[in-house]
Structure 1
């Protein structure tokens, strides 16, 4: 069995080859391209297990390497967890705290050789398409919200009170507001209104494509929409971010991946401040919290939510409900069953 570690950068990549005993073999620095990797792989006598971090170029690299005859397996690892493991492993291997690109590549291979590589699931082309489209829509909606807040802040500063929907959709009200603005404010508001129009058209086109690739007739979308507080947008977000529920061996891993599992640090019987893990999937975290907001008064959740709200306050109560919803969603998708009260 042979192992290869890759330290991938934008333009160049360091590759370190080793055998099953940990003896170092070929080391090369190649261009981060298909030709560069092929140049290295063509020099190998037998297939190898390649390990690389989930950096910006990991997806196309993993797709290319998996189809190469000299590659037996591709391990794409979580950069944050891999970094911590590599720091300790480099000490074991005699490098101390030294760090360079060659050592990083060697530690990637060593992690796979020792069975310690914290691998992640690489999305299929279809999963990548769906997730990227949904995240793009998420980004566009955020842009529109930021532009609207800029307009509201400027008008508020000038003592003008009008709703954004009225400013955009009512020509008469828009004309009155624009006539009352000084020249500099008029220029800014007109520019921002133009940006809103452009972003809304982009959102419409993105949603049209999402309707084609993730229609409401999709079996998983139908199951998710059956849950209270979850409609089209949240159901697509949950589906595209989970990718496949089989990736999670238990519901607690979905809760942790969503950033809803509290971190408790305890020593000598004393507990520090309880907080949530910031290393998580923020899109999934948003979806579950938004679903909790919409489902907090549903008969199934109302009693427990009100108890938590009275005891801990509305924020903690909503986070507790989001965790329960994540657990419910896990079992709904695992069993392929819609929500039942």
Structure 2
């Protein structure tokens, strides 16, 4: 049983201010409003001390709670609640009522605390999420470039598997520089691509308008800038992962998981010892099926998606990669069995959940992944340079 407090505080946090309510067992309550500045949060801490309140609950709304946590963590019991699980389902919604509701839940120990990672893990998570944002932005720029080419009736994507590969960039540069199709095609660096020079010539013969040249050149410049930022981010991620080298190697020993995905997965998990089992970790990622029970019958529905969307997205990407491998590993055979009965999409999600459960087991036991289906074990040795 949790210790019952006589007082508890609920804080409804916003961008510019927070509304706080201290609720006592006798039903009395004290309300106050504070600015969301360092000075304002320090005043909030002093107000809590003056009212002899040691327990504070807030909702995990964006990053606004970080400042409050940094100020209160050392002297108060800080509870971070999931906003979906703490929301009030009836009655008028005001800042005061929200603060009172949080205080009531906190006083009666009805808030399931969310996991708060140590500072180093939060920094690693911030870097990996920033990297994901840059990659998504680069993908959008590439899509816009291809759309601009299509608008000028240049079907380059139909002839090249990667428009932004070495040969693709050569063709794009020739187009924005105003060179003729013959000159561009004859100077393609790849002999393999050059075999299809007539098809490529027909695809780019229309040329670009001045506005299209300006837009495509701008997109290419921004893509190059993003690539430079990704190199810098990778160096910072490698620096923070030096202390977890063994964990990275274990994660990368599973087929379908590379360095980037291993870094993202480990950053989202944090300390894997916080999860009692692989099933708990799968539930944290939102990959567990929802459960319906009626009249003694139990049904499994779609996955809950109640968890880290970043972890869920990355492990599903790894599952896609593993499903395309040729090696008949146990994980691949599991995927094929599910796909035969339920289809590819459900099989991929099931495989992602399976991979998380396996990863948790390997991390807990500090073992590398081994499988008879692999021609040879995946030899993983991660080296971090001194510059990282």
Report the TM-score range of the alignment, normalised by the length of the smaller protein.
Answer: 0.7 to 0.9
Give the drift of 1:117: 0.8
- Structure 2 residue corresponding to 1:66, chosen from 64, 73, 79: 73
Give the drift of 1:330: 1.5
Q: Name the counterpart of 1:33.
A: 37
Report the number of matched residues: 326
Q: Name the counterpart of 1:232.
A: 259
Q: Name the counterpart of 1:151.
A: 145
Structure 1 residues 161 and 223 mapped into 2: Cα distance closer, same or farther (>3 Å)? Answer: same
Counterpart CA distance in 1 for 2:213 and 2:14 is 46
After the TM superposition, which of the residue ranges 193-202 and 152-161 deviates more from structure 2?
152-161
Structure 1 residues 77 and 160 mapped into 2: Cα distance closer, same or farther (>3 Å)? Answer: same
Counterpart CA distance in 2 for 1:302 and 1:16 is 54
Counterpart CA distance in 1 for 2:93 and 2:339 is 49
SS in 1 for 2:34: strand
Give the drift of 1:168: 6.0
After the TM superposition, which of the residue ranges 30-39 and 116-125 deviates more from structure 2?
30-39
8 Å contact kept, 1:4–1:15: yes
Alignment partner of 1:191 is 2:224: no
Alignment partner of 1:204 is 2:231: yes
- Structure 2 residue corresponding to 1:51, chosen from 42, 57, 70: 57
Give the drift of 1:178: 4.8
8 Å contact kept, 1:254–1:330: yes
Larger radius of gyration: 2
Structure 1 residues 15 and 217 mapped into 2: Cα distance closer, same or farther (>3 Å)? Answer: closer
SS in 1 for 2:330: coil
After the TM superposition, which of the residue ranges 36-45 and 202-211 deviates more from structure 2?
36-45
8 Å contact kept, 1:59–1:122: no
Q: How does 1:97-108 map to 2 (within 5 A)?
A: 97-108=91-102
Alignment partner of 1:132 is 2:139: no
SS in 2 for 1:67: coil
8 Å contact kept, 1:5–1:106: yes
SS in 2 for 1:123: coil
Q: List structure 1 runs of 4+ shifted beyond 6 angstroms.
A: 269-273
- Structure 1 residue corresponding to 2:13, chosen from 8, 17, 25: 8
Alignment partner of 1:337 is 2:367: yes
8 Å contact kept, 1:228–1:298: no
Give the drift of 1:98: 3.2
> What TM-score do the two structures reach when normalised by structure 2?
0.77
8 Å contact kept, 1:166–1:174: no
Counterpart CA distance in 2 for 1:168 and 1:67 is 56
Counterpart CA distance in 2 for 1:48 and 1:309 is 53
Give the drift of 1:216: 8.9
Counterpart CA distance in 2 for 1:194 and 1:216 is 35
Counterpart CA distance in 2 for 1:316 and 1:200 is 34
8 Å contact kept, 2:38–2:67: no
Give the drift of 1:206: 0.9
RMSD, aligned CA: 2.4
Q: Deviations 1:188-244 (Å, cap 9, x if unpaired)?
A: 111111111111111111111112112496121121111111110111011000111
Structure 1 residues 45 and 158 mapped into 2: Cα distance closer, same or farther (>3 Å)? Answer: closer
Alignment partner of 1:304 is 2:303: no
SS in 2 for 1:30: strand
Alignment partner of 1:247 is 2:267: no
8 Å contact kept, 1:292–1:321: yes
Q: Name the counterpart of 2:164.
A: 164
